[in-house]
Chains A and B, each alone.
Chain A
Amino acid sequence: MLRISRDLHDQIVEHARRDHPDEACGVLAGPAGSDRPARFVPMMNAERSPTFYRFDSMEQLRVWRGMDERDEEPVVIYHSHTATEARPSRTDISLASEPTAHYVLVSTRAPDETEFRSFRIIDGEVTEEPVEIVG
């Protein structure tokens, strides 16, 4: 299960809406081992694409360094789908590289409702999990 604050949830949704129709992406960092997302880190989509996303490699290095220095890890890795449902695509599954992360998918395909779902992706196996919004 992903437990996430209302504030962080809303920041992801706002980012996805802002970048629509391109895919938005980013990270929620949290204390290592805590499984608790605590810090919102929106990332550039280097692809600037409605069908693909990729973190900019230099920004990713800076953000990953920053997490190391704070003893944090990427608790959540999020991105949006702007024309399809909020579940991992085949590409998302084959490229998932953080086995401890919650992969959050947001869909902005409907203008007035944003789907928000969370998955584990480990060795190509996808498992959806409940999302509990707290605070």
Chain B
Amino acid sequence: MTMAIEVGIPTILRTYTGGEKAVEGSGQTLADLFVDLDSRYTGLRDRLVGTDGTLNRFVNVYLNDEDVRFLGGPETPLADGDVVTILPAVAGG
């Protein structure tokens, strides 16, 4: 059975999703989900995680409205019906 995870895409990353605000993906963990998304939306994964697999510092990823940094990061397990939201951090100097 494939799990359906809804993923909210911010404006700046919609170039990867053909303008879609929300897409569906699947995966046992957040890291798996990013690989699955990248298979259809090439390049998206690189905007979310580094080559070592850690979450990029200036991207916020939320699982059901919790910041995944306070959950398990990329290894956070996912369940059918989960909602993942991606927002670029608003930051600067």
CB distance A54 to B11 under 8 Å? no
CB distance B60 to A61 under 8 Å? yes
Within 8 A of A (CB), among B47-67: 58, 60, 62, 65, 67
The residue from A60, A91, A99 contacting B87, defined by CB atoms under 8 A apart: A60
Chain A CB within 8 A of B1 CB:
no
Total A residues in contact with B, Cβ cutoff 8 Å: 27
Number of residue pairs spanning A and B whose beta carbons lie under 8 angstroms apart: 66
Residues from chain B with a CB closer than 8 A to the CB of A25 are 90
CB distance B11 to A98 under 8 Å? yes
Closest to B91 in A: A54
CB distance A55 to B93 under 8 Å? no
Residues from chain B with a CB closer than 8 A to the CB of A60 are 60, 87, 89-90
CB distance A53 to B65 under 8 Å? no
* Bitwise interface map of B from 30 to 46 toward A, beta carbon under 8 Å scored 1, else 0: 00000000000000000
* Bitwise interface map of A from 22 to 34 toward B, beta carbon under 8 Å scored 1, else 0: 0001010000000
Chain A CB within 8 A of B73 CB:
no
Chain A CB within 8 A of B25 CB:
no
Q: Tell me the A residues contacting B by CB distance below 8 Å.
A: 25, 27, 43, 47, 51-55, 57-58, 60-61, 64, 77, 79, 88-92, 95-100
